[in-house]
Amino acid sequence: MASVTLRKLKASDLKYFSKWWRDKELIRLTSGNLKKLSDLEARRYFMSMLENEKSWQYMIQSGRKTVGHITLAARKAGWYETQIVIGEKKYWGRGIGSIAIKKLLALAGKNKISKIYLEVRPDNLRAVNTYKDCGFVAKKNKKYLNNKNLPKVLVMAWQKGRK
């Protein structure tokens, strides 16, 4: 397998998000909102990510190929939320997500960040198992009563030093 690296998000990465945010299979695994996304909406959302100074945004590279995105965003009380997507489906199941998460956790550790959590669809077993492999443990189920596309998530928190 090619080496996995993280690189900072840049404006030219919009093309990847425009593709991934319209992929129905990816959307079903993440937000579940299958409403068609306009180019303007995609650009606005992407620019808000690019300009957010309270989050770290990285593209995941496998060799020279951009295959996904990972973020670490500041939340309340010193907590950070991480999210990851391997947008290029032919790279699924290759361990790239695990490597990217571990690299992000190492960066977080260097910056004295240890309170990290994520939310995942409970039925996305591939993702849940990847997160467990990276040291995350299930904490609780959380309901989003106003979100018919994603009514329930599993909240997992990182336990530093656990694998």
The reported pTM is 0.86
* pLDDT tens string 18-45: 887 777 776 666 665 556 767 787 788 8
Asked whether residue 24 is domain-assigned, the answer is yes
CATH number for the domain spanning 32: value is 3.40.630.30
Asked whether residue 88 is domain-assigned, the answer is yes
Asked whether residue 79 is domain-assigned, the answer is yes
Asked whether residue 163 is domain-assigned, the answer is no
Report the distance separating Cα 141 and Cα 85, nearest Å.
21
Tell me what percent of the chain is helix, strand and coil, each rounded to the nearest 5: 35, 30, 35
pLDDT value for 35: 67
How many structural domains is the chain composed of? Answer: 1
Under 8 Å CB-to-CB from 21, ≥6 apart: which residues? Answer: 27, 37, 42, 45
Asked whether residue 27 is domain-assigned, the answer is yes
Asked whether residue 146 is domain-assigned, the answer is yes
Structural domain harbouring 140: 4-158
Report the distance separating Cα 20 and Cα 26, nearest Å.
7
pLDDT value for 38: 72
pLDDT surpassing 80 at residue 149: no
pLDDT (mean) for 63-74: 95
Residue found under tokens 């990217």:
100
Asked whether residue 93 is domain-assigned, the answer is yes
pLDDT value for 117: 97
Structure tokens at 65: 């190929």
pLDDT surpassing 60 at residue 92: yes
Structure tokens at 78: 């010193």
Asked whether residue 30 is domain-assigned, the answer is yes
The answer to whether 84 and 101 have CB atoms below 8 angstroms apart is yes
